[in-house]
Structure 1
Amino acid sequence: MVIALIRHGQTDWNHAALMQGRTDIPLNETGRAQARAVVEQLAESDWDLIVSSPLGRARETAAIIADGLGLELGPPVEGLTEQDFGDAEGVRVVDVHERWPDRNIPGAEPDAAVGERGLAALVQLAADHPGRNVLAVAHGTLIRRTLAVISGHDAHDYPRLDNLATSHVQLDGDTWAVLTVGGAPFDEVRIDLDARAAQLTAELAS
């Protein structure tokens, strides 16, 4: 089974570089165009179903792709919802880093919980749709943290995912593996991930 995790299309808050999290900001026209444009790329593989986070920007992205590919649009999957960023939602990303450099953001969902929640959502999708290849529209932080749990790397070392970037994971037996990250083969991405992990280990040991 292969699941493609797709980041939703652009919103006005994306364009303005504001933290969104659970704030339900709709797609803008650029985001809708991005969703239509990715259909041709996704049509190169066989997909059985598309699902999404319940947030409107993910749901509309999924609906556009479903229409373009002639796929069934499944019900929203709560576990694919973006991380709750608490007091940081609506704040410029650059200001978030300055105000909460340790990411101790009041009201935010703990970082460590996000990837585990995302992986649990994948496990449930696999149980609900055995043997089917599924497109899942979700959110940048949720996707990165889920991939990090699967690969065993630090989510902060994963590259930023653009709108409509697609990352593939595969279930073989009971084992999940990351195949691609934002379209790049995981074997290539892992080189940078391992290098960053080694650098941090060296810094801590010095």
Structure 2
Amino acid sequence: MIIFLNGTSSSGKSSIAAELLRELDTPFFHMSVDAFGAMRAVERTLELDVPAQQELLRRTRAGFHRAVAGMAAAGNDVVMDHVLSEPWRLQDCLDVFEGLDVVLVAVHCPLDVLERRERARGDRTVGAAAQQLQEVHRHRLYDFQVDTSAHSARQCARAIKEFVARPVRGRVFDELRGRARGHDPSAT
């Protein structure tokens, strides 16, 4: 199983993931897009021109998707935190995660709280979350949603744990994949 946490920067995905690792009854791996990007040589990245940096970041994110898929395909359960701030990222995940059990979870947080968190952290560009907010949830379909301004990371993790323990009737990821391939579920 992949528990896919999607939300803006500073929305609380990593905090929820850390709590999920403590709360879930079986061992899960936390794979974060930020941690994956941190494996890259930052100094060398900054030496590149903007188009080369953008291409490197695209390849890094595509590699992240494939690493998560590889872990899950090998039989590992994964909590993935990501920012679907560009349409290609969702499409790539839909393709790469085909055949895997993906629970797509929206991590919401109001803009004023996101900006306050960005300022408090000091390691983020203030305004990054605002730029991501429009695109991150554009697809609008989720298996489950949490709001980190209304609930603690532990409360969100416990709610997600409770949700994933329920019997499965179908996953939103499969519906999104079908729509991307031209299948209209409302027509059947």
Query: TM bucket by the smaller chain?
Result: 0.3 to 0.5
More helix, by proportion: 2
Bigger RCO (CA 8 Å, 6+ sep):
2
